[in-house]
């Protein structure tokens, strides 16, 4: 037994669990999603909207 890195629930870490070390597919996808969004976060060069200067 171990604990899911995503939600902390106890989880089986053997071949009966296709999502190990996560408890469910959902937790696995959530964790991957966080990893991707963290790694591929590209800083934007565009200025924020609504500064209101120089329009018109």
Tell me, what DSSP letter sits at residue 31?
H
Q: How many residues bind Zn ion (CB under 5 A)?
A: 6
Dihedral through CA 46, CA 49, CA 50, CA 54, nearest 10? 20
Residues of this chain, 1-56, that bind Zn ion according to CB under 5 A: 4, 6-7, 9, 23, 27
Q: How far is the CB of 39 from Zn ion (least distance, A)?
A: 21
Rounded to an integer, what distance in angstroms lies between the CA atom of residue 24 and that of residue 4?
9
Residues engaged in binding Zn ion (CB under 5 A) = 4, 6-7, 9, 23, 27
Binding-site residue set? 4, 7, 23, 27
């Amino acid at each position: 037994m171990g604990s899911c890195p995503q939600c902390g629930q106890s989880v089986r870490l053997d071949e009966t669990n296709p999502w190990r070390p996560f408890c469910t597919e959902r937790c696995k996808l959530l964790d991957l999603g966080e990893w991707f969004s963290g790694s591929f976060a590209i800083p934007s060069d565009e200025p924020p909207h609504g500064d209101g200067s120089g329009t018109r």
